[in-house]
Amino acid sequence: MTIGIWILGNQLHSEQAALLSRKNNKQETPVIFIESLNYVRKRPYHQQKLVLVFSAMRHFAEELSSEGWSVTYKISENFEQALNSWIRANQITELRLVTPYDRPFLTFIQSLNLDSNIKLIPNNHFLWSHQEFKQWTDSRKRLLLEDFYREGRKRFNILMEGDQPIGGQWNFDKQNRKPPKKSLTPPTPLGFEPDQITQQVINDLKSSQIPTYGQIEPFKWGINRSQALQVLECFIENNLDNFGAYQDAMVTGEYTMWHSLISPYINLGLLTPLEVIESIEKAYHEFDYPLNSVEGLIRQILGWREYMYGIYQLMDDDYSQKNWFNHQEKLPEFYWDSSQTDMNCLKQSLRQVEETGYGHHIQRLMVLGNFALIVGVSPQAVNDWFHSAFIDAYDWVMVPNVIGMGQFADGGILASKPYAASANYINKMSDYCKSCVYKRTQRTGDKACPFNFFYWDFLSRHQQQLKGLGRMNLILANLKKMDSEELKAIQSQAQHWRESQ
Q: What percent of the chain is predicted at pLDDT more than 90?
A: 97
CB 266 within 8 A of CB 12: no
The answer to whether 362 and 429 have CB atoms below 8 angstroms apart is: yes
pTM score, whole prediction: 0.96
3-state helix, strand, coil in the chain (%, to 5): 55, 10, 40
Q: Stretch 403-415: mean pLDDT, rounded? A: 95
* Ramachandran angles phi, psi of 217, nearest 5°: -135, 150
The model's pLDDT over 58-104, given as tens digits with 9 standing for 90+, comes to: 999 999 999 999 999 999 999 999 999 999 999 999 999 999 999 99
pLDDT of residue 323: 98
Residue 485 in 3-state DSSP? Answer: helix
> Residues for the chain: how many in total?
501
Report the chain's terminal Cα–Cα distance, integer Å.
60
Ramachandran angles phi, psi of 354, nearest 5°: -60, -40
Contact of 379 with 402, CB cutoff 8 Å: yes
C-alpha 468/C-alpha 472 separation (Å) is 8
Percent with pLDDT over 70 in the chain:
100
388's CB contacts (< 8 A; 6+ apart) are: 43, 44, 45, 46, 213
Pairing, β 117-121 against β 94-98: parallel
Listed in order, the ranges of the chain carrying CATH 1.10.579.10 are 320-500
Q: Is the pLDDT of residue 4 over 90?
A: yes
Measuring CA to CA, how many Å separate 34 from each of 58, 111, 199, 201, 359? 10, 17, 19, 14, 29
State residue 36 phi and psi, 5-degree precision. Answer: -95, 120
CA atoms within 13 A on the CB side of 326: 3
Tens digits of residue pLDDT in 278-317:
999 999 999 999 999 999 999 999 999 999 999 999 999 9
Write out the residue limits of the CATH 1.25.40.80 domain(s) in the chain: 130-187+239-314
**pLDDT band, very low/low/confident/very high, at 142 (cuts 50, 70, 90):** confident
- Check whether 171 has a pLDDT greater than 90: yes
Fold annotation for 130-187+239-314? 1.25.40
pLDDT of residue 501: 83
DSSP run (H or E) holding 288: none
Instruction: Tell me the H-state helices in 67-144.
Output: 79-90, 103-111, 130-138
Q: Which of 109, 146, 148 is nearest to 127 (CA)?
A: 148
Mean pLDDT of all residues in 4-20? 97
- Binned at pLDDT 50, 70 and 90, residue 115 comes out as very high
Helix (H, G, I), strand (E, B) or coil at 32: strand
Give the number of C-alpha atoms closer than 13 A to the C-alpha of residue 169, restricted to the C-beta side: 8
Cα gap 453→463, rounded to integer Å: 15
pLDDT at 38: 94
The SS3 assignment for 258 reads coil
* pLDDT at position 234: 98
Classified as helix, coil or strand, 95 is strand
pLDDT of residue 141: 86
Cβ atoms of 187 and 260 closer than 8 Å: no
**CATH of region 3-121:** 3.40.50.620
Measured distance CA(135)–CA(133) in Å, rounded: 5
**DSSP states of 400-448 as a string?**
IIIIIIIS-TTSSSS-SS-----HHHHHHHBSGGGG-SSBTT-SSSTTB
Closest alpha carbon to 422 in 341, 494, 326, 348: 494
The DSSP bridge partners found for residue 4 are 95
Q: Give how far Cα 121 sits from Cα of 18, 60, 99, 134, 372, Å.
A: 6, 20, 6, 19, 38
At 349-368, the pLDDT tens digits run 999 999 999 999 999 999 99
CATH 3.40.50.620: which residues of the chain?
A: 3-121
pLDDT at 181: 83
Over residues 118-141, the pLDDT tens digits come to 999 999 999 999 999 999 999 998
Q: Which residues contact 360 (CB under 8 A, 6 or more apart)?
A: 247, 250, 256, 257, 259
Cα(41)–Cα(500) distance, rounded to whole angstroms?
31
Least Cα distance to 212 among 341, 346, 54 occurs for 54
Spatial CB neighbours of 497, under 8 Å, sequence gap ≥ 6: 375, 450, 453, 454
What is the homologous superfamily of the domain 320-500 according to CATH? DNA Cyclobutane Dipyrimidine Photolyase, subunit A, domain 3 (1.10.579.10)
- Cα–Cα distance for residue pair 62/365, rounded to 1 Å: 38
At residue 422, the pLDDT reads 98
Which region, left, alpha or beta, applies to residue 4 given φ > 0 means left and ψ of -120 to 50 means alpha?
beta
Mean pLDDT, the chain, rounded, equals 96
